[in-house]
Structure 1
Amino acid sequence: MRLYATSSGLAREDRTGMLAILDLPYPDVGALLRGPGIEAARTAPVLREQPIDATILRSPVARPGKVLIVGLNYGSHATEALEMLAALGKSDVTLPKEPNLQVAAGSAVTGPTDPIVLPRVAGDHVDYEAEVAVVIGTVAREVTIDRAWSHVAGLTAVNDVSARDIQRRAMTGDPTASIGVAKSFDTFKPLGPCLVTADEFSETPDLAVRTRVNGTVRQDDRTTGFIHAIPELIAYLSRYQTLEPGDVICTGTPRGAGVFTDSYLRAGDLVEVDIEGIGVLANRVVRA
């Protein structure tokens, strides 16, 4: 099932290209998950149908309680990150054996076609990161790997936009900088365009993950490149905090982010994050 948050309310894609606006009092999927749960959308009465192309789409989860970001979770990206750290004099750094975790603000989430705003304090070093996002459906605390997938409501796409100058300062020991802050600016987490429910995927999905900037492919990989699979991430994260309905886990990005080629985002750029089986985020970059 594909669920959308729209300007007209929650919607289900019963026919390709057409949205069934549901008779439900919840503005987004996150609110639904914190209420009766995902199954309510399967049986909800339909108010009307309208074309997706004629509908304003919102983020499927408007304000996650937590946005948990897993770094270095593709072998391809981990290799290029270690190379960069070595160039910064950190040649003794090795890959962590456990997932690398950062936390971003829920207020950073924005819609699938909303603009990405370059902040004044980091406008020259803003970067894209295409990722598959996991949306938690039911409370998970200290779950086992074999039970972890049962807590997933579905998957969506996310662009884990980052202010690399602030992130670099944090990684080189500057106590005034934080990786979480670098990823928490308003509009830095475009999410959507829909939530595809967990029953549409295996627990270890094989999905293409791509980024295009102004039509040029910058990232192109598959989720089979994960170092830590989704159930492993959920089990690990749930040891340290309770995962709640509507929480979002960003599962990592592959090789090709702009920081490694000094190709940062500029005002006017169109950034497209394309996740196979889910859809495309298309966000224009604008000045503050």
Structure 2
Amino acid sequence: MEKALVNGFVLGTFEHEGEEFPGLALDDAVVDLRAVLPDVRRIGDLFADWEAHLDALEAIEPAAVGARPLGELRVLPPVQPVGTIIAAGANYREHILQISVAHRLGTEGADEAQPRADAAAETDERGRSGDPYVWTGIPSAVCGAYDDVQLPDVGADVDWELELGVVIGRTAHRVGVYDAMDYVAGYTIVNDITARTLVPRGDIAMMGTDWFRAKNQPTFFPTGPYLVPARFVPDPAKLRIQLRLNGALMQDADTDDLLFDIPSLIAYASSVAVLRPGDILITGSPAGNGSHWGRFLRHGDVMEATISGLGVQRTVVRGPSGQLPPWYADRPAAVAAAGGPGR
């Protein structure tokens, strides 16, 4: 495990001998927040008075309050209770352009440079006058930063998508762009796992994509290891985001390439829904997914994901269990349509 590299402390949820507790991590020591803030039983309780709680925590001397060694603890998803995942798709400009060129979108019969130019013009216009593309993930799909990722028993071509997670700290509804950052508690790392063969719905093509089954399988949102308070992240638009698969660098980008920035995403999402403290807005994934490389996740793969200042995830991929869910047990045609048994 590695601590986040910030000038301050980080927050998380930890487990010791079966007991979960909210903690403050500094270097390799973890302070049980319940010992210093008796009304705080889990990280979500901090949001009731976020800044005041942080001020109190900055005065803590870990050695004086019985800190535990980090290496003795299991690291759980940092924010408990786990909130809704509010996810932005197609939100890194360079990634959008690469996808458009790969699929030969744009003017028919044009030379190789024209599809990129067409995509750039269309993308930039969407950024100026259009809406972000946003969907939701469910809390039960979230796992910890060092937990295994389980491949599904139905569906294939399971892909990675490393993303900056923005943790909402106040109830947000119809928030303006210029006020949006006031609703941010902090930041974390989220790997948005997707079973690509589960995305299309050929049986009801008019419905298009099925994000529920493709992205909400158990363990499909490795999150954390920590919640880094926004006061310790001077500029979230200047972070480096990297994912390695078995040591090979697959994704490498800066967060300044977002088509819709964090304030815009918060303003848009809150124009539709009420965002609650503990919800996590994930901001899109840069180029370098498995779909780009033609290489999807397999049993035994190791993913290492980093975002500068936010720590490191390390997740091992486990193969399917080999047992079909009851829904699919007597539906071989549906299994085949979904990409076959997991592999």
State which structure, 1 or 2, has the greater radius of gyration over its C-alpha atoms: 2
**Is the 8 Å Cα contact of residues 237 and 254 (structure 2) preserved in structure 1?**
no
- Normalising to structure 1: TM-score of the pair? 0.89
Structure 2: distance between partners of 1:270 and 1:38 = 37
Deviations 1:126-168 (A, max 9, x none): 1111111001000111111111111111000000001111124
Q: 1:54 aligns with which of 68, 72, 81?
A: 72
Deviations 1:27-77 (A, max 9, x none): 6423543x5546435526765212222221100124533211101111121
Structure 2: distance between partners of 1:260 and 1:245 = 35
**Is the 8 Å Cα contact of residues 12 and 41 (structure 1) preserved in structure 2?**
no
- Does residue 13 (structure 1) correspond to residue 25 (structure 2)? The answer is yes
- Does residue 282 (structure 1) correspond to residue 318 (structure 2)? The answer is no
Structure 2: distance between partners of 1:83 and 1:181 = 27
Cα distance, 1:248 vs structure 2: 0.7
Structure 2: distance between partners of 1:228 and 1:174 = 27
Counterpart amino acid of 1:53? G
Counterpart amino acid of 1:20? V
Partner of 2:56: 43
Q: 2:143 aligns with which of 110, 114, 138?
A: 110
Counterpart amino acid of 2:29? M
User: Between the two proteins, what is the percent identity of the paired residues?
Assistant: 30
SS in 2 for 1:113: coil
Q: 1:147 aligns with which of 173, 179, 191?
A: 179
Q: 1:72 aligns with which of 90, 111, 131?
A: 90
Structure 1: distance between partners of 2:311 and 2:206 = 38
Deviations 1:167-219 (A, max 9, x none): 2448x946485123311111000000000001112354300100011111100
Structure 2: distance between partners of 1:42 and 1:60 = 19
Structure 2: distance between partners of 1:3 and 1:100 = 30
Structure 2: distance between partners of 1:167 and 1:39 = 43
**Is the 8 Å Cα contact of residues 4 and 28 (structure 1) preserved in structure 2?**
no
RMSD: 2.5
Cα distance, 1:84 vs structure 2: 4.4
Greater Cα offset, 72-81 or 148-157: 72-81
Partner of 2:163: 131
Greater Cα offset, 20-29 or 265-274: 20-29
Greater Cα offset, 58-67 or 92-101: 92-101
- Normalising to structure 2: TM-score of the pair? 0.75
Greater Cα offset, 56-65 or 256-265: 56-65
Structure 1: distance between partners of 2:250 and 2:194 = 16
Q: 2:33 aligns with which of 18, 22, 25?
A: 22
SS in 1 for 2:272: coil
- What is the 5 A alignment of 1:1-288? 1-8=9-16, 9-14=21-26, 16-23=27-34, 24=38, 26=40, 28-33=42-47, 35-37=48-50, 39-40=52-53, 42-43=55-56, 47-86=65-104, 95=123, 96=126, 97-122=130-155, 124-169=156-201, 173=205, 175=207, 177-202=209-234, 204-287=236-319, 288=321
Structure 2: distance between partners of 1:61 and 1:189 = 13
